[in-house]
Chain A
């Protein structure tokens, strides 16, 4: 338990390799965008992070439901680990989106639909982590967290439509269009490579964070048994 598992190291190594290729391609090989210039390259990072973040929160949903049904602490460990990694990736999405916005429109923040949705999702899951931190004891944290893990993910599609309609009815669509049917197949490949790389990175971080959580459980157990023997 105190050492990472073999599979964790494998996933980590693979993630490193794929991302090295993906980001290398994105930043050095792919021709610069005709309109947006060099900064558009950050979109490859951005899209990968988006995929990883929402996948992470989906995993939290599944783990939360599993915990509520089986009360297995390992399910809870997955839920919190995935949520934490998800928040991390969401931060990357916000930062990269913001940088892109600054470069393209000269402003650090636009109330663009997708970015706003990401910001709201960020708030939901930061709230999730805070909720767990403020609970009196670990089982309450797991239980309340699981409930919020379900609510949070259910809210995402509803938030998506709300924010989308809010923007498109007010000003011309300013949705970041880095993808779409007109994308050059090479660019599309690079996007996919980066998405894969990000998902692998998510996997590695999840496994490590999960391991950390399990170590925490075991420490609690140890403290318990030591207290018992008195």
Chain B
């Protein structure tokens, strides 16, 4: 295996969003992640696909610097994963099924808090605009406790709009969302991609991943089972590969076909 970055052409202007090798995570005597390489260039969306327990969430937490790797390292947005945690955190956004919102505060108060903590002036106009952009203008003064899941997810996107992250991490973002929220989410990821940003999406929902992503990394039991690019790959083919590698644990073919080269 040549690792994830084989054959990549980087632009000299900006470093790749994700360029990590050998990421390993141990919890006690459990190996959650086993020497995972990952690469994502600018303007790329990479989907991590796998069943529960495959290590997708752990990988996201390592990449977003929420956890420290037991071994391995690399660069996120050009900054060292181990020593550059603060600069990385300035430029990444995490959209996870845990909302990271304070339920007792209103939407507006949540955004103002998030803005202030990031050193952004929480002026009314900016906050209102962010809320309007995600369709929550009229519910701005409601407590988040009263929000539906879709509304909460929109609010999280609103938070992202405040500081425009260059790299998004999404952990099962489509769970229990209504169509409008899904459309907003996909639209937001597309807009990030359009301005050169990147996204790593962890999901077990193949069709959603297929819509969003340029590349798929199939994971199983803490390791990467297969990597595929979207071009020339149909949804059905993806499903077949997923069943073979991620669910049934088939090994990647020894002879490298065009399909497995990334």
A touches B (Cβ under 8 A): yes
Q: Which residues of A contact B (CB under 8 A)?
A: 137-138, 220, 223-224, 227-228
Contacts of A228 in B (CB 8 A): 31, 34
B234 to chain A, nearest CB (A): 33
Q: Are B31 and A227 in contact (CB under 8 A)?
A: yes
Q: Are A137 and B27 in contact (CB under 8 A)?
A: yes
Q: Are A220 and B34 in contact (CB under 8 A)?
A: no
Contacts of A224 in B (CB 8 A): 26, 29-31
B28 near A: Cβ within 8 Å? yes
Contacts of B34 in A (CB 8 A): 228
Contacts of B29 in A (CB 8 A): 220, 223-224, 227
Q: Are A138 and B28 in contact (CB under 8 A)?
A: yes
Q: In the bound complex, what is the Cα–Cα distance between A228 and B70 (angstroms)?
A: 15
Closest-by-CB residue of A relative to B34 is A228
Give the 5 A-B residue pairs with the shortest CB-CB distance, closest first.
A223-B29, A137-B28, A220-B29, A137-B27, A224-B29
Contacts of B30 in A (CB 8 A): 224, 227
Closest-by-CB residue of B relative to A219 is B29
Q: Are A220 and B31 in contact (CB under 8 A)?
A: no
B interface residues, tally (CB under 8 Å)? 7
Q: In the bound complex, what is the Cα–Cα distance between A223 and B31 (angstroms)?
A: 10
- Which B residues between 22 and 45 are near A, CB-CB below 8 angstroms? 26-31, 34
A80 to chain B, nearest CB (A): 16
Closest-by-CB residue of A relative to B35 is A228
Contacts of B26 in A (CB 8 A): 224
A217 to chain B, nearest CB (A): 11
Q: In the bound complex, what is the Cα–Cα distance between A220 and B27 (angstroms)?
A: 10
A64 to chain B, nearest CB (A): 18
B61 to chain A, nearest CB (A): 14
Interface centre among B26, B27, B29, B34, by most chain A C-beta atoms within 10 angstroms, is: B29
Q: In the bound complex, what is the Cα–Cα distance between A137 and B25 (angstroms)?
A: 13
Known: A224-B29, A228-B31, A228-B34. 9 other contacts (CB 8 A): A137-B27, A137-B28, A220-B28, A220-B29, A223-B29, A224-B26, A224-B30, A224-B31, A227-B30
Q: In the bound complex, what is the Cα–Cα distance between A223 and B29 (angstroms)?
A: 6
B203 to chain A, nearest CB (A): 26
B110 to chain A, nearest CB (A): 29
Q: In the bound complex, what is the Cα–Cα distance between A137 and B30 (angstroms)?
A: 10
B2 to chain A, nearest CB (A): 22
A23 to chain B, nearest CB (A): 42
Q: In the bound complex, what is the Cα–Cα distance between A138 and B26 (angstroms)?
A: 10
A137 to chain B, nearest CB (A): 5
Contacts of A220 in B (CB 8 A): 28-29
A selection of 8 A-B contacts at a CB cut-off of 8 Å is: A137-B27, A137-B28, A220-B29, A224-B26, A224-B29, A224-B31, A227-B29, A227-B30
Closest-by-CB residue of B relative to A228 is B31
A102 to chain B, nearest CB (A): 45
Q: In the bound complex, what is the Cα–Cα distance between A228 and B26 (angstroms)?
A: 11
Q: In the bound complex, what is the Cα–Cα distance between A203 and B28 (angstroms)?
A: 29
Closest-by-CB residue of B relative to A223 is B29
- Which B residues between 1 and 57 are near A, CB-CB below 8 angstroms? 26-31, 34
Closest-by-CB residue of A relative to B27 is A137
Contacts of A137 in B (CB 8 A): 27-28
Q: In the bound complex, what is the Cα–Cα distance between A39 and B28 (angstroms)?
A: 49
A7 to chain B, nearest CB (A): 30
A180 to chain B, nearest CB (A): 51
Q: In the bound complex, what is the Cα–Cα distance between A220 and B26 (angstroms)?
A: 10
